[in-house]
Amino acid sequence: MTRSFLVDDDLTSAEQRAVLELAAELKVDRHARTPFAGPQSVAIIFDKPTLRTQVSFAVGIAELGGYPMAVDGTMAQIGTRESVADVARVIGRQVHAIVWRTYFQSDLEAMAQWSGVPVVNALTDDYHPCQALADLLTIAEHTGGLANSGPALAGRTFAYVGDGSNNMAHSYLLAGALAGMDVHIAAPADYQPRPDILARAQAIAAETGAALSVVEDPRLAVVGADAVATDTWVSMGQEEEQAAREAVFVPYQLDEDLLALAHPNAIAMHCLPAYRGKEIAAEVIDGPASVVWDEAENRLHVQKAVLTFLASA
């Protein structure tokens, strides 16, 4: 059966740990694995603006021995000009894997259903699992490494403040639960995580020993955290809501006062692009606690690990 990585919990806790261990190996020796040697081709489709995703997947696929074929989603018009299923059956006969950055999770699932090759979620409106894995690797690097056994980051505490209904919050809940971390989400009442996703994360947490909480007060979420993350208040496609969102999210800015409530050695995280003075203060993102450039680099290593894992699954 062809394996894909469409959402964080497509990996078990043990598989997530294995992927993170492989990513750490590939960070030390970038050419240690070449599953796409030949080269085999991997289609990278972009329906949304991209920088880190395009660069990290293109470089990563090349370093795995493959040929990264970038596809302009606005030209392809997948799901509009022709159905996702028809596109999947065409592309799947010509490439060895598909990476897709798009809007709807249901479209990604249809691509995986009909393509016959591994499909990787490079961001949808609901999840951003590759970024979550990159952030887990970054947390491990800055807080004592991967756990010796069991869930990858057992014993660590992670806090996220901001839009709890966006793709990063959802992936942090699922990936953090799989990693055995305590995950605290702070979000306004109207921007809480989707109940079904929270329920899935809680079921995972019951097995891995993680503890999850969702609150409105960002100060409660941050107290004692080893890592504190935030994300843009206005995601792609929400530009018309910008003024209303910024008014609601002002109390959730990750600034020096909020970060001071976390563990004294806490790291500050942001998946980028960042808007200084909005969701994160310039003094924080440019300060000594910031690990945002490590997060960006680690996209490369974890995505190579995911593709290697899927190629051998």
Judge whether 194 counts as a catalytic residue.
Answer: no
Place 275 in a pLDDT band, splitting at 50, 70 and 90: very high
73-129 pLDDT, tens digit per residue, is 888 889 889 999 999 999 999 999 999 999 999 999 999 999 999 999 999 999 999
Pairing of strands 157-161, 119-121: unpaired
pLDDT at 96: 98
| CA–CA gap between residue 105 and residue 124 (Å, rounded) | 6
| Annotated binding-site residue numbers | 77, 101, 128-131, 167, 231, 235-236, 271-272, 299
- Residue 238: pLDDT over 90: no
Q: What would the two tokens of residue 100 be?
A: 């897709």
Question: What pLDDT, on the 0 to 100 scale, is given for residue 1?
Answer: 87
Spell out the domains of the chain, with CATH numbers in brackets. 13-127+296-312 (3.40.50.1370), 131-294 (3.40.50.1370)
Torsion angle of alpha carbons 28, 29, 35, 36, nearest 10°? 110
Q: Catalytic residue among 17, 52, 128, 270, which?
A: 128
Lowest model confidence (mean pLDDT) among 173-187, 229-243, 278-292: 229-243
Q: What beta strand segments (E) does 47-156 contain?
A: 67-72, 97-101, 119-121
Pick the catalytic residue from 17, 170, 184, 299.
299
Query: Which of 39, 44, 9 lies closest to 299 in space, CA to CA?
Result: 44
- pTM, to two decimals: 0.97
| Averaged confidence pLDDT in the chain | 96
The answer to whether residue 131 is catalytic is yes
Rounded to an integer, the average pLDDT of 156-185 is 98
Considering only CA atoms, which of 241, 306, 270 is closest in space to residue 98?
Answer: 306
Distance separating alpha carbons of residues 107 and 78, to the nearest angstrom: 9
Output the known binding site for L-ornithine.
167, 231, 235-236
Catalytic position from the list 33, 52, 96, 101: 101
Residues with Cβ within 8 Å of 40's Cβ and at least 6 positions away in sequence, in order, are 65, 66, 67, 95, 96, 97
Angle of helix 167-178 versus helix 129-142 axis, rounded to 10: 50
Task: For residue 128, indicate whether it is catalytic.
Answer: yes
Q: How confident is the model at residue 235 (pLDDT cuts 50, 70, 90)?
A: confident
Q: Is 161 left (phi over 0), alpha (psi -120 to 50) or beta?
A: beta
Give CA–CA dist 204/196, Å, rounded: 13
Taking 80 as the threshold, does the pLDDT of residue 237 lie above it? no
156 annotated active-site: no
Query: Which residues belong to the annotated binding site for carbamoyl phosphate?
Result: 77, 101, 128-131, 271-272, 299
Q: Compute φ and ψ for 258, nearest 5 degrees.
A: -70, -45
CA–CA gap between residue 117 and residue 98 (Å, rounded)? 7
Active-site position among 16, 131, 253, 303: 131
Task: Choose the catalytic residue: 47, 107, 135, 231.
Answer: 231
Predicted local distance difference test score (pLDDT) of residue 239: 79
